[in-house]
């Protein structure tokens, strides 16, 4: 397209949230509200409207991997809960979030990419200072691994 158009608003106003998916099958979770309180709300977008879906187990903002996955298979990692920085990883299966192997280095504001929650890459971020840590996540049926470099 060549222009932006107004669509329906997200149910919960947030910023610094994670997101993944496409223009017609989006997913957003976490973030902060106008009082700076960390949120755990999960919402799906169907191209027309937002619906409340599974919430993160850990409310957080500045989580990484904004583009790791799809609306039905996503991954959110790290971030900042009420205080500190965490290495927590949660996987979305289309309806609920569940805990997964943690990052080897806790950090927030990291970048990530991947086509699904089963194979993702996270890098950079904030560990108290700028970080160049790179971690690869693989979850292939019986083989799970988190590697760092």
Phi, psi of 133 (to 5 degrees): -60, 135
In the predicted model, is pLDDT for residue 145 greater than 60?
no
Which pTM does this prediction carry? Answer: 0.84
How many Å apart are CA 102 and CA 36, to the nearest integer? 25
Residue of higher predicted confidence among 71 and 35: 35
How many Å apart are CA 82 and CA 70, to the nearest integer? 27
Residue 80: DSSP 8-state? B
Q: Note whether 30 and 59 are within 8 A (CB).
A: yes
Residue of higher predicted confidence among 87 and 73: 87
């Amino acid at each position: 397209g060549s222009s932006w158009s107004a669509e329906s608003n997200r149910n919960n106003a947030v910023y610094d949230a994670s997101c993944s998916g496409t223009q017609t099958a989006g997913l957003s979770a976490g973030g902060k509200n106008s009082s700076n309180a960390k949120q755990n709300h999960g919402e799906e977008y169907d191209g027309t409207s937002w619906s409340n879906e599974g919430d993160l187990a850990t409310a957080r903002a500045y989580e990484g991997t904004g583009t790791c996955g799809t609306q039905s298979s996503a991954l959110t990692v790290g971030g900042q809960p009420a205080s500190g920085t965490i290495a927590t990883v949660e996987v979305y299966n289309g309806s609920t979030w569940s805990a997964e192997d943690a990052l080897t280095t806790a950090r927030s504001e990291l970048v990530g990419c991947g086509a699904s929650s089963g194979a993702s890459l996270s890098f950079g971020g904030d560990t108290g200072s700028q970080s160049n840590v790179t971690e690869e996540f693989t979850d292939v049926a019986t083989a799970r691994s988190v590697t760092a470099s």
